[in-house]
Amino acid sequence: MNNIALITGVTGQDGSYLAEFLLAQGYEVHGLIRRHSTQNTERIDHILEGPYNGTKFFLHYADTTDSSGLIRLVSEIKPTEVYNLAAQSHVGISFEVPEYTAEATGVSTLKLLEAVRMFGGSCRYYQASTSELFGGIPETAPQSEKTPFYPKSPYGAAKLYSYWITVNYRESYNMFACNGILFNHESPRRGENFVTRKITLAIANILAGKQEKLSLGNMNAKRDWGFAGDYVKGMWLMLQQDKPGDYVLATNETHTVREFVEAAFGQCGIEIKWEGEGVNEKGIDAKTGRVLVDVNPQFYRPAEVEFLWGDCTKAETELGWKRDVDFKGLVAMMMDSDLKEIAGMTCEEYKAKN
């Protein structure tokens, strides 16, 4: 049987890594893209420019809020696996656009599940669930598949609906539908307004003399940060099992935003010392005394998930999933990539010069 995948969110961080991974496994890959007023394919341009385009890799215009398009795609493509990665995925912004987030991140999941149930035959289904579901339960850590949910944002609440409707379709219609409860995963392709990429991009700009300082919100928040390239393998593994299930993917390590800042500057040979507290906190270059980091309450959220730390024992044991990149490796990869793009040199080269 030919393996045919349909990926929603193919232009996003995870969609681009997943498309690469599935093509390397010999899949025919179909990606759903939205119409934009400007071209929006930078994360997959290298695939579009390669030999897979038009032979194994195909893009289709649709929108996951539009069920007729989903029905058309599922019935025409006849995928053997559907990966539902599309979402309004920014937690902070979900407070600004809560209703749209409910549609795009919540109800759209139902529309796609219905399309698969009606026209997908024995197609397997992956739902991009999230550690944001755990939200406000810091006393239960590390968090596993057994930890209760308590979302703290319109995004988290929409993803909660998506999680349960996926479980419901599995139980009601015997569909092979899985939730990947993924903790934060990052990469050089991470959107520029997520905190890790905001940090590495700002540091590269500061070192290139193009930005004065980095302004952040809550630096005490703790996250379990892994590498997106490792996590897409886990998504695929979930759909290769005998039985469908729900799995946490995480690194089992947690760090504050402040620690990420320190590690990223440290990668370039700059030691940060901290002064002040709360909105008055400043990150200062220990050698020169220059203020490189400050706090801007504009980046605080109305409600915050303070602490995420994942236990991925089930995925390791049942799927045989493992990670190749640790926290230090992730910071180095992202810092190198942004510095190279902006200043034309790696962190090692920068350190050698300064």
Is 85 a binder of ligand NAP (CB under 6 A)? yes
Burial 239-271, CB ≥16 within 10 A → b, else e: beeeebbbbbbbbbbbbbbbbbbbbbbbbbebe
CB proximity list for 198: less than 8 A, separation 6 or greater = 192, 214, 216
**Nearest distance from C-beta of residue 170 to ligand GDD, angstroms:** 21
Among 4, 14, 176, 292, binds ligand NAP (CB under 6 A): 14
Is 251 a binder of ligand NAP (CB under 6 A)? no
Length of the chain, please? 354
Choose the one of ligand NAP, ligand GDD, none that binds residue 98, judging by a C-beta under 5 to 8 angstroms depending on kind: none
**What values do phi and psi take at 134, rounded to 5?**
-75, -35
Choose the one of ligand GDD, ligand NAP, none that binds residue 111, judging by a C-beta under 5 to 8 angstroms depending on kind: none
Query: Considering beta carbons, is residue 8 or 131 the nearer one to ligand GDD?
Result: 131
Query: Considering beta carbons, is residue 309 or 350 the nearer one to ligand GDD?
Result: 309
Applying CB under 6 A, the span of 48-56, 81-89, 275-283, 328-336 interacting with ligand NAP comes to: 81-89
Residue nearest to ligand NAP (CB): 12
Query: Considering beta carbons, is residue 105 or 267 the nearer one to ligand NAP?
Result: 105
CA-CA distance, 27 to 22, in Å (whole number)? 5
Choose the one of ligand GDD, ligand NAP, none that binds residue 257, judging by a C-beta under 5 to 8 angstroms depending on kind: ligand GDD
Per the CB < 8 A criterion, the answer to whether 78 and 46 are in contact is no
Is 86 a binder of ligand NAP (CB under 6 A)? yes
Is 8 a binder of ligand NAP (CB under 6 A)? yes
Residues that bind ligand GDD (CB under 6 A): 89, 91-92, 130-132, 183-184, 193-195, 198, 216-218, 221, 223, 257, 299, 301, 304, 308
**Nearest distance from C-beta of residue 134 to ligand GDD, angstroms:** 8
**Nearest distance from C-beta of residue 16 to ligand GDD, angstroms:** 14
- The H or E element that residue 349 is part of is helix 347-353
User: Residue 340 corresponds to which tokens in the numbers above?
Assistant: 């190279």
Active site residues: 130, 132, 155
**What values do phi and psi take at 137, rounded to 5?**
-120, 60
**Nearest distance from C-beta of residue 61 to ligand GDD, angstroms:** 24
Interface of this chain with ligand NAP, residues 36 to 65, rule: CB under 6 A: 40, 63-65
Burial class (CB in 10 A: 0-12, 13-18, 19+), 137: middle
Pairing of strands 28-33, 57-61: parallel
Interface of this chain with ligand NAP, residues 180 to 199, rule: CB under 6 A: 182, 184-185, 191
* Closest among 91, 73, 95, 90 to 82, alpha carbons compared: 73
Instruction: Tell me the C-alpha to C-alpha distance, in Å, between residue 174 and each of 25, 121, 329, 354.
Output: 27, 11, 40, 61
Alpha helix locations (H) across 78-208? Answer: 91-94, 98-101, 108-119, 154-173, 195-207
**Nearest distance from C-beta of residue 310 to ligand GDD, angstroms:** 9
Is 305 a binder of ligand NAP (CB under 6 A)? no
Query: Considering beta carbons, is residue 98 or 269 the nearer one to ligand GDD?
Result: 98
Burial 165-182, CB ≥16 within 10 A → b, else e: bbbebbeeeebbbbbbbb
Choose the one of ligand NAP, ligand GDD, none that binds residue 217, judging by a C-beta under 5 to 8 angstroms depending on kind: ligand GDD
Give residues in contact with ligand NAP (CB under 6 A). Answer: 8-9, 11-15, 32, 34, 40, 63-65, 85-89, 104, 128, 130, 182, 184-185, 191
